[in-house]
Amino acid sequence: MKKSILLLFSLALFCNKSFSQTGLYDQYVVQEIKIYFHEPDWDHILDSLKLYDLGYLQADSVIVNGTKLDSVGIKYKGNSSYDPTQVKNPFTIKFDKFVSGQNYQGYTSLKMANCYDDPSMIREVLAYSILKNYMHCPQSNYAKIYINDVLIGLYSNDEDINKSFVLKHFYSSANPFFKASPALASPAMKANLKYIDDNSSSYTDLYEKESSGSSGWVDFIALCDTITNSPSSLAGVMDIDRVIWMLAFDNILVNLDSYIGVFSQNYFIYKDNNGIWNPIIWDLNMAFGGFNFLGSPSNGMGTLALSDMQTLSPLAHSTHTDWPLINIIMQNDQYKRKYMAHYRTILNEMFANDFYKTLAADFQATIQSSVIADTNKFFSDAAFQNGMTQDVIINGRTVPGIANLMDARVAFLQSDSEIIKVAPDVAAIQLSSYTPSINDVVNITVSVTNADYVQFSYRSDSTLKFTSITLYDDGLHNDGVAGDFVYGGSIIITSNYTEYYVYTENNDAGIFFPARAEHEFYTLPGNPVTVGVNTLTNQGQKLIVYPNPAQEKITIQSSSNDLKLVKIYNILGHEVLQTMASGMQSDINLSDLSEGIYFVKATQNGEEFSHKIIIQR
């Protein structure tokens, strides 16, 4: 299914009761999962199955939000989060283990994390809520788990990264698929994608093969060989943009139980039908400084104090070959500028404006009563209540209050020499046609100052890799007069649908339009792109909403004559305004609404479009 730029913006970034997916992954509804075993010693059996890696215990039934499923597979999971002496262990629930095809709302398995080492109990869900705006990742919310009608506790309910996941996001599921998960993690045993040799047995303690059959290892080893021995060829075998988003996200959130930390673990990689490997971040319960081991080139743990985490450089490990992906990105000037562009986007959209605090407060409010009822949680009610501001000592290390970490970190980053570099200023992006036919030539012009390079990237289908062309300000590429700060070029349309974005840079910094490219993009057919105006898109149909930020009113402009119901919701998902629109343009009066973040939901041609606006006076 085609993904459009600002539909994803609203549905993924600013989730609330009105806009999030209803059902299993509604972020503001605590799910209820009841597991029933006839074995009274079910806990001992699950411990034994995990100890000897013997798989699943068959539950008599599992009831999810009132829906009963029979003969479901249950097993304990986890490494440091699992302990046979504790009541609240993490689970894998597999609906189709013993009954072929059995599922709940299309999901065949669930991963239930026990909020281990997280006094706030929101790290995982909050981090995934941020990440999903920039790259493919699991959905995550909360569930209360009961076994034989006894409450075990509140868990984060994470979507399983399995074949169904990669089919949904990468349009195939039979290709090589691996998880970076060292069997015995150590500073010297990193799942960092470094080439070892050509024997798969050299890699099996570091990576788990998720794909079926015996194939896959040859492809995986070839990837490691390219990363280690032919880094200049990486773009031909790995999605550089997703690598950059992953590294930027992990660094900003000080998510060190990840590729950028001491063990280089907790991610998946999947090879799509284009032959390109795609990274997928996994396991975020220790984001926001919950794990403070950065690692060092000398195979040390690289332990960080709170002040070190607050001031972690965006360029950490940039010259350390034990983290080859970081090294490749940082040693390539253009990759580094793209990395910093994505870094600024996450920083500005989520942290500099304190938006993450709004999300955190909403999650805390959603789970408060469930946390209090959880007598098996690892920390006190007070630790949960103060999870944003209170630092907690756990096994000799400081797990910071989330805001304690990020307030100081944002202040540090906003003065960082890389962050403050000035990117080009784009005034307009124009195409010669916004409703082209197949085989039409479309001319592109980008009006930009302070630029040394302008790139236009496009593709005819979401399953394909983007193709990039360079635009020129030389008077020879439909760009007007040479040296007039208008860059031009052209493409031939090969499909009735095209996705595109623009990237431009100078010697100091780069910038993407839209800012979340390649995860989001503009589309043809579509409307002209006006910098600072937000476009709501749904599979080729468009609405334009402006201005944003707004003061007393917004204007909604339609591409058809069928603009109808418009609703506005506040950050808590409560409807605060409803009006009927007509024709192709309608003004919405906002004078009765206070300053803040709101969500516009409009109906056109029977389809709903959603977007976030800011009222600022």
* CATH code of 548's domain: 2.60.40.3080
Residue 384 is classified by DSSP as H
Residue 155 lies in a domain: yes
Q: How far apart are CA 242 and CA 248, in angstroms?
A: 10
Of the three residues 531, 566, 588, the one that is the final residue of a domain is 531
* Claim to verify: residue 136 and residue 249 sit in the same structural domain: no
Of the three residues 351, 374, 405, the one that is the final residue of a domain is 351
Q: What does pLDDT average to in each consecutive run of 10 residues of the chain (617 residues)?
A: 36 36 81 98 98 96 97 95 97 97 94 97 97 95 98 98 93 95 87 97 95 88 98 97 98 98 97 97 97 94 97 97 97 98 96 94 97 98 98 94 98 97 93 95 96 97 94 96 96 94 97 93 82 48 68 76 74 76 78 81 68 74
* Claim to verify: residue 243 and residue 311 sit in the same structural domain: yes
Contact of 422 with 271, CB cutoff 8 Å: no
> Residue 505: which CATH number?
2.60.40.10
Q: How many CB atoms lie within 10 A of CB 167?
A: 13
Could you report the per-residue pLDDT of 490-538, keeping only the tens digit for each?
Answer: 999 999 889 999 999 999 999 999 999 999 888 888 778 766 545 554 4
Contact of 551 with 598, CB cutoff 8 Å: no
Residue 326 lies in a domain: yes
Residue 21 is classified by DSSP as P
Residue 412 lies in a domain: no
Residue 219 lies in a domain: yes
* Claim to verify: residue 116 and residue 219 sit in the same structural domain: no
Dihedral angle computed from the Cα positions of residues 489, 494, 496 and 501, in that order, rounded to the nearest 10 degrees:
-40
* Claim to verify: residue 521 and residue 604 sit in the same structural domain: no
**191: closest CA among 283, 111, 90, 94?**
283
* Claim to verify: residue 310 and residue 181 sit in the same structural domain: yes
Q: How many CB atoms lie within 10 A of CB 571?
A: 17
Residue range(s) defining the domain that contains residue 314: 171-351
Q: What are phi and psi of 431, to 5 degrees?
A: -115, 150
Measured CA angle at 373 (ends 370, 378), to 5 deg? 90
pLDDT for res 561: 60
Contact of 511 with 522, CB cutoff 8 Å: no
pLDDT for res 245: 98
Q: Look-up: residue for tokens 């469930």?
A: 370
Q: How far apart are CA 260 and CA 251, in angstroms?
A: 7
* Claim to verify: residue 327 and residue 447 sit in the same structural domain: no
pLDDT for res 257: 97
* Claim to verify: residue 462 and residue 589 sit in the same structural domain: no
Dihedral angle computed from the Cα positions of residues 567, 522, 459 and 461, in that order, rounded to the nearest 10 degrees:
10
Q: How far apart are CA 142 and CA 114, in angstroms?
A: 10
Q: Name the token pair of 319.
A: 């010259």
pLDDT for res 272: 97
Q: What's the total number of domains in the chain?
A: 4
* Claim to verify: residue 525 and residue 537 sit in the same structural domain: no
* Claim to verify: residue 339 and residue 210 sit in the same structural domain: yes
Residue 372 is classified by DSSP as H
Of the three residues 531, 549, 570, the one that is the final residue of a domain is 531
pLDDT for res 525: 86
Q: How far apart are CA 566 and CA 573, in angstroms?
A: 15
Q: How far apart are CA 586 and CA 460, in angstroms?
A: 32
Sequence-ordered list of residues with C-beta below 8 angstroms from that of 423, at least 6 positions apart, any chain? 341, 450, 504, 505, 506, 508, 509, 510, 511
pTM for this predicted structure: 0.84
pLDDT for res 539: 37
Residue 372 lies in a domain: no
Query: Residue 30 corresponds to which amino acid?
Result: V
Residue 374 lies in a domain: no
Residue 369 lies in a domain: no
Residue 501 lies in a domain: yes
* Claim to verify: residue 538 and residue 525 sit in the same structural domain: no
Q: How many CB atoms lie within 10 A of CB 382?
A: 10
* Claim to verify: residue 79 and residue 128 sit in the same structural domain: yes
Q: How far apart are CA 202 and CA 193, in angstroms?
A: 12
pLDDT for res 420: 96
Could you report the per-residue pLDDT of 1-50, keeping only the tens digit for each?
Answer: 333 333 333 333 333 333 333 589 988 899 999 999 999 999 999 999 99
* Claim to verify: residue 612 and residue 523 sit in the same structural domain: no
